[in-house]
Amino acid sequence: MLLRDPVHGLISFGALSSGPNRRRVDRAGRLVVQLLDTREVQRLRRIRALGLASLVFPGGEHSRFAHAVGSAHVMQRYLEHVTGLSGELAAEERIDSEMAAIALAAALLHDLGHGPLSHAFEVLLPDGDRHEDWTSRIVLDPGTEVNACLRAFSHDAPALVEALIRGRNRIPHLARAVSGTFDVDRCDYLMRDSHMTGVRYGLLDLDWLLASLRLFIPDSGEKAILAVDGGKGLTAVEGFFLARLYMYRQVYHHKAVRAADLMLQALFARLVELGPPPGTPAPLATLLRGEVLSTSAFLELDDPVLEVALAHYSTSGDPILAELATALRNRRLFKTLDLDPGADSEAAEARLKEVLSATGPTLARYGRIDRVEVKAYVEDRSLVVLGNGGRVQPLLEASPLLRGLSRESFVHNRAVFPVQMRDAVVAAMAPFT
């Protein structure tokens, strides 16, 4: 299978390669091709990767499917690279044909459990399950096509794939490549989200990054861990963490994206208050009632299903629900006011609610203080740097840049409110700006 991708160029799965790894690549690639045809993976075409961010970045309409394919491609490149580094490893630490296939499958399937609008859906309901939990259920459920495909490959494949998605594997560096601070998921989504939104903050030198990776075998006899060649790779690794920081500050936590997310949360809060109204899809109604949802029912939820529901809600007899749904469909978003990052959020929230409550039972009741914090860099000791003469250093010690970033946090502190309340909110929030 040969695919064209706007981020990675040509992507190939299942084709025979030349050289000693020919059978390994063919077996793993063929499993990916088979998994791509399953209904659970195809459903990801109907889930936007960036949720409501396309209301701010018109190009950000790409799907979880595209990201899944990209993640599997990055994993394929990672496997090709580390296979050439495994000569000194013990036999049990080498990636054989079966484990290569498991790794590619895990990279492809890691986001199966996302609901409509991806991460935005996870916070809509109290005690809602996270997408990682739904992914595990889908992979392990004997009724899914993904599970049947994996079982046809090997009896243990579903359990091995699910464990690897959760970051558990007998080969530590492989587990970290699927679920870690620096993994194939992040490598793809930073590049893809940057490209599709039209910003330039998430650009990565992926070629150089992969080429600089090494496997380090500790003297203690522990298993090999991932390392970076300090001579050529440190700058690329620093660029990875900077790209992640910039994308969170400029795209994922953009003020209008956050406003849209909070409006969707307000709409679902209203649905919980009212009970599922006419036009609510059956799986969503089950969730709104706090009942247990089956895996097959969850898989019926996607972006088009939610969009149809919003169309029904926009004509609801409840004015608040109708106005929220109409505003989201027509991009009439709440406004935001930047507050001082160090302002007392609880005091600001109390003052905001005091002002907004004076308007009576309207949309204003859903205004709130939105405070989000991004750690510039959180230390990851599973990744080390190899310097001259075989010297080994923790990444934080080797990089003055990351050492400085590790002491920094970036806070977005904002009041979010309906536009008609702008003047009142600006006056009330003056002590907090």
Tens digits of residue pLDDT in 143-164 = 999 999 999 999 999 999 999 9
Summarize the confidence of residues 389-418 as an average pLDDT.
89
Summarize the confidence of residues 45-55 as an average pLDDT.
97
Topology given in CATH for the domain delimited by 255-374+412-432: Growth Hormone; Chain: A; (1.20.1250)
| pLDDT of 360 | 65
Q: What is the CATH number of domain 1-180?
A: 1.10.3210.10
Q: Give the separation between CA 163 and CA 57, rounded to whole angstroms.
A: 35
DSSP H or E segment with residue 31: helix 22-36
The answer on pLDDT for 16 being more than 50 is: no
The 225-229 sheet, strands edge to edge? 213-216, 225-229, 383-386, 392-394
| pLDDT of 17 | 47
DSSP assignment of 223-245 equals: PPEEEEETTTTHHHHHHHHHHHH
β-strand partners of 225: 216
Summarize the confidence of residues 227-251 as an average pLDDT.
89
pTM: 0.93
Amino acid found at 234? L
The pLDDT confidence band at residue 27, using thresholds 50, 70 and 90, is confident
Burial of 106-137, coded b for 16+ CB within 10 Å and e otherwise, reads: bbbbbbbbbbbbbebbbebbeebbebbebbbb
Residue limits of CATH 1.20.1250.30 in the chain: 255-374+412-432
* C-beta separation of 233 from 212 below 8 A: yes
* Percent above pLDDT 70 for the chain: 96
* C-beta separation of 398 from 385 below 8 A: yes
How many helices (H) and strands (E) the chain has is answered by: 21, 9
**Residues near 114 by beta carbon (within 8 Å), at least 6 away in sequence:** 44, 47, 64, 121, 131, 134
- Name the CA dihedral angle for 282, 288, 293, 297, rounded to a multiple of 10 degrees: 30
Residue limits of CATH 1.10.3210.10 in the chain: 1-180
Tens digits of residue pLDDT in 272-319 = 999 999 999 999 999 999 999 999 999 999 999 999 999 999 999 999
* C-beta separation of 429 from 339 below 8 A: yes
